[in-house]
Amino acid sequence: MNKNVKTGLVILAAGSAKRFGTDKLLKEFDGKPLLQIVLDNLKDAPCYKKVVVVRPDFPVERFDFSGYEMVLNHSHIYGISSSLKVGFNAFLLEEPEGIFITLGDMPFIYSSDIVEIRKRIVPEDPKIISFVHEGKKGFPTFIPGKFFKRIMELHGDRGASVLINDNKSAFIPLGGQKRHCFDIDTENDFKEALKTIERPEKAMGDTHRSR
């Protein structure tokens, strides 16, 4: 691993959760609100700065954001691209070599995943890096600095996958597991995630809690 690579982390948590019906990030999961699980899982990630993007009306007082910088997305109704822009803007004057992205409704992403991706970063030839499972791009996703401008040009619900589709030669896919692609969009997803806690070896593959 290149320990000198300066990387940041952005957790996108400003969605409206329309498919879930209620604010899923507040729903208790393994004894804590879902978003708190994600924050705890990534608190030791080797990133010099960690940013969480939330809505202005999000009840932040219910969470422990220690080690994170919280930023508000006042344009969250315009899709995930708006949260990406707000998150990346938090690094505007700092020029990190790259930023990791993950989602606030993915409880099986860990600091160890970021460590694994960092091993593949080559500063002299920066590429987008992410886990892939059964042909689907997962998270975390590493976006090198040369693509920051392109992130700021995205619109609507267009995310990092657009960059990969447009720059296939600049993408490194890592063999991933179901957990790398598993986000909680519906009540059925939530029930499946709860089963994973009870029997991790049966559901998502390696869902260890290493950080």
pLDDT digits (tens, 9 = 90+) for 156-198: 888 888 999 888 899 999 999 999 999 998 899 999 998 887 6
Segment 105-130 shows an average pLDDT of 96
At residue 144, the 3 state secondary structure works out as strand
Residue ranges covered by each domain of the chain:
7-200
pLDDT of residue 199: 54
Segment 8-37 shows an average pLDDT of 87
**What's the topology of domain 7-200?**
Spore Coat Polysaccharide Biosynthesis Protein SpsA; Chain A (3.90.550)
What is the largest distance, in Å, between two alpha-carbon atoms of the chain? 45
- Its sign, for the CA torsion 199, 203, 206, 211, is negative
Report the b/e string of 63-72 with b at 16+ CB within 10 A.
beeeebeebe
Percent of residues, the chain, with pLDDT higher than 70: 89
User: Residue 171: how many CA atoms within 13 Å on its side-chain side?
Assistant: 18
pLDDT of residue 130: 97
Question: DSSP alpha helices (H): ranges in the chain?
Answer: 34-42, 80-89, 111-118, 148-151, 160-166, 187-198, 200-203
Which pTM does this prediction carry? 0.91
Cis amide prior to 56 (ω within 30 degrees): no
**Cα separation, 34 vs 36, whole angstroms:** 5
Segment 22-41 shows an average pLDDT of 93
What is the tens place of the pLDDT at every residue in 40-96? 999 999 999 999 999 999 999 999 999 999 999 999 999 999 999 999 999 988 989
Segment 134-162 shows an average pLDDT of 93
